[in-house]
């Protein structure tokens, strides 16, 4: 696949942020730069200001904003990317004062999602999130729609839709949500059927670019697109995977996560993320070669908590260990397995660990069969392990370990 999602020459951009000490601004800028480049911009400078809190009218101080304006003029800057979610009025103020197009972290992520959505469901989800972001920004009569001639932050719903009134947009959101909920119902039916057939699900979740799809491909040759870019995968892909025990599970690849994921997106992608919530075992994949690895695992854990997965078995999968010099360099968190999805190292251990974490499919039971059911006893003897068998006055007593599904068919004879 060709990766040019912006056929204009890359927009020259400056990253702008306020350093309140709440998080490490440099690593946040690193990530923002990666996002900007994934979306097709060229980052030429970073501009930050230390202050207790952002300025209410212009985000960074007005003096610094004037400074930024002259940098933009001198350096042909076409785009300012703010490392936050700007309110509509802040965005307007800054654009007026600098005369440069202003976008924020949220629209940047939405834009990448819009470019990467493949399936009907992914597209629906992104469009809902974009419309919800646009809605409060359509404020006045003409807003700044005339600026939306192309470039980052303008892909997705076409201009005609954006020019329509809010009511029209709300109606559109409602109808998209209806379509989405139909798709969701269909997926729930599928999931239900799998559950009835006794197929367990294992979900691959984790920070964007951690190597989730590479792991999916290494285990199942699913042929999912992988790339050194953010948010390549938006749609969940499922494939059957055989474990060392002989059991088959359904392995699901999912959308990647990021710090401060725009809440409209979390909301829109909830149904996709619920795939993870419904899984029997969760693989939290991280890039062990990244300095931010522990933080990335934490972001994922937090989201899993929000989805109500706190009780589920989670395996921390420390990926890209081929890039890490020594084991000592790796953070050790709970149950963890070190792998390289690229070279295949550690995949055997990972499969064994998944087997261990799956709920049991066999259990022990005590049954009493009438003598007329010798055939059933023979069946249990063949497919299960009999621990005790007694010929009693009132029937044949057995204590047996067998598949739960088999035992269920004899539940009238449980003691």
Among 115, 152, 232, 251, binds ligand GTP (CB under 6 A): 232
Among 342, 352, 373, 386, binds ligand GTP (CB under 6 A): 342
Which residue's Cβ has the minimum distance to ligand GTP? 256
Task: Answer for the pair 71, 59: CB distance below 8 angstroms, yes or no.
Answer: no
The minimum distance between CB 213 and ligand GTP, in angstroms, equals: 3
The minimum distance between CB 169 and ligand GTP, in angstroms, equals: 29
Residue 322 binds which entry of Mg ion, ligand GTP, none, CB below 5-8 Å type-dependent: ligand GTP
Q: Which is nearer to ligand GTP, 54 or 256 (CB)?
A: 256
Q: Which of these segments, 47-55, 127-135, 228-236, 310-318, binds ligand GTP (CB under 6 A)?
A: 228-236
Other C-beta atoms lying within 10 Å of the C-beta of residue 62? 12
Q: Which is nearer to Mg ion, 225 or 242 (CB)?
A: 225
Q: Which residue, 260, 345, 334, 323, is CA-closest to 294? A: 334
Rg of the chain in Å (alpha carbons): 27
Task: Answer for the pair 230, 261: CB distance below 8 angstroms, yes or no.
Answer: no
Among 39, 41, 341, 350, binds ligand GTP (CB under 6 A): 341
Among 40, 256, 313, 384, binds ligand GTP (CB under 6 A): 256
The minimum distance between CB 82 and ligand GTP, in angstroms, equals: 23
Q: Of 305-324, which residues contact ligand GTP (CB under 6 A)?
A: 319-320, 322-323
Q: Which is nearer to ligand GTP, 10 or 256 (CB)?
A: 256
Query: What gap in Å lies between CA 226 and CA 215, rounded to an integer?
Result: 10
Structure-block tokens of residue 319: 């990926």
Query: What gap in Å lies between CA 278 and CA 201, rounded to an integer?
Result: 8
Query: What gap in Å lies between CA 351 and CA 191, rounded to an integer?
Result: 22
Q: Assign residue 206 a region: left if phi > 0, alpha if psi is -120 to 50, beta otherwise?
A: left
How far is C-alpha 217 from the geometric centre of its chain's CA atoms? Answer: 17
Binding residues for ligand GTP (CB under 6 A): 208-214, 226-228, 230-233, 256, 319-320, 322-323, 340-342
């Amino acid at each position: 696949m060709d990766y040019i999602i912006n056929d204009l020459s890359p927009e020259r951009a400056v990253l702008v942020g306020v350093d309140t000490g709440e998080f490490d601004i440099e690593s946040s800028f690193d990530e923002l730069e990666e996002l900007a480049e994934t979306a097709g911009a060229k980052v030429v400078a970073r501009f930050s200001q230390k202050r207790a809190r952002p300025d209410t009218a212009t985000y960074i101080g007005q003096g610094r904003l004037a400074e930024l304006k002259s940098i933009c003029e001198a350096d042909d800057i076409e785009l300012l990317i703010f490392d936050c979610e700007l309110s509509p009025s802040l965005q307007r103020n800054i654009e007026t004062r600098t005369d440069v197009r202003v976008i924020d972290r949220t629209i940047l992520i939405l834009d990448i999602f819009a470019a990467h959505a493949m399936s009907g469901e992914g597209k629906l989800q992104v469009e809902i999130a974009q419309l919800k972001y646009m809605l409060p920004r359509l404020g006045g009569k003409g807003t700044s729609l005339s600026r939306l001639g192309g470039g980052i932050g303008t892909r997705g719903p076409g201009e005609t839709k954006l020019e329509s009134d809010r009511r029209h947009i709300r109606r559109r959101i409602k109808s998209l949500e209806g379509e989405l909920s139909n798709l969701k119902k269909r997926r729930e039916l599928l999931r239900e059927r799998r559950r009835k057939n006794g197929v367990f699900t294992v979900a691959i979740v984790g920070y964007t670019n951690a190597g989730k799809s590479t792991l999916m491909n290494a285990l199942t040759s699913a042929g999912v697109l992988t790339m050194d870019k953010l948010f390549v995968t938006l749609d969940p892909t499922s494939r059957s995977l055989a474990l060392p025990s002989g059991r088959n599970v359904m392995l699901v690849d999912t959308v990647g996560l990021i710090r401060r994921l725009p809440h409209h997106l979390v909301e829109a992608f909830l149904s996709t993320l619920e795939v993870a919530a419904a899984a029997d075992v969760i693989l939290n994949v991280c890039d062990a070669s990244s300095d931010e690895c522990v933080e990335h695992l934490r972001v994922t854990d937090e989201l899993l908590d929000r989805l109500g997965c706190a009780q589920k078995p989670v395996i921390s999968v420390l990926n890209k260990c081929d890039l890490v010099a020594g084991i000592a360099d790796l953070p050790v968190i709970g149950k963890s397995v070190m792998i390289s999805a690229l070279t295949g190292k550690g995949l055997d251990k990972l499969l064994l660990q998944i087997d261990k974490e799956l709920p049991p499919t066999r259990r022990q039971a005590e049954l009493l069969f009438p003598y007329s059911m010798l055939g059933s006893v023979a069946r249990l003897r063949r497919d299960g392990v009999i621990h005790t068998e007694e010929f009693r006055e009132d029937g044949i007593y057995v204590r047996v370990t067998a598949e739960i599904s088999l035992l269920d068919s004899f539940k009238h004879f449980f003691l």
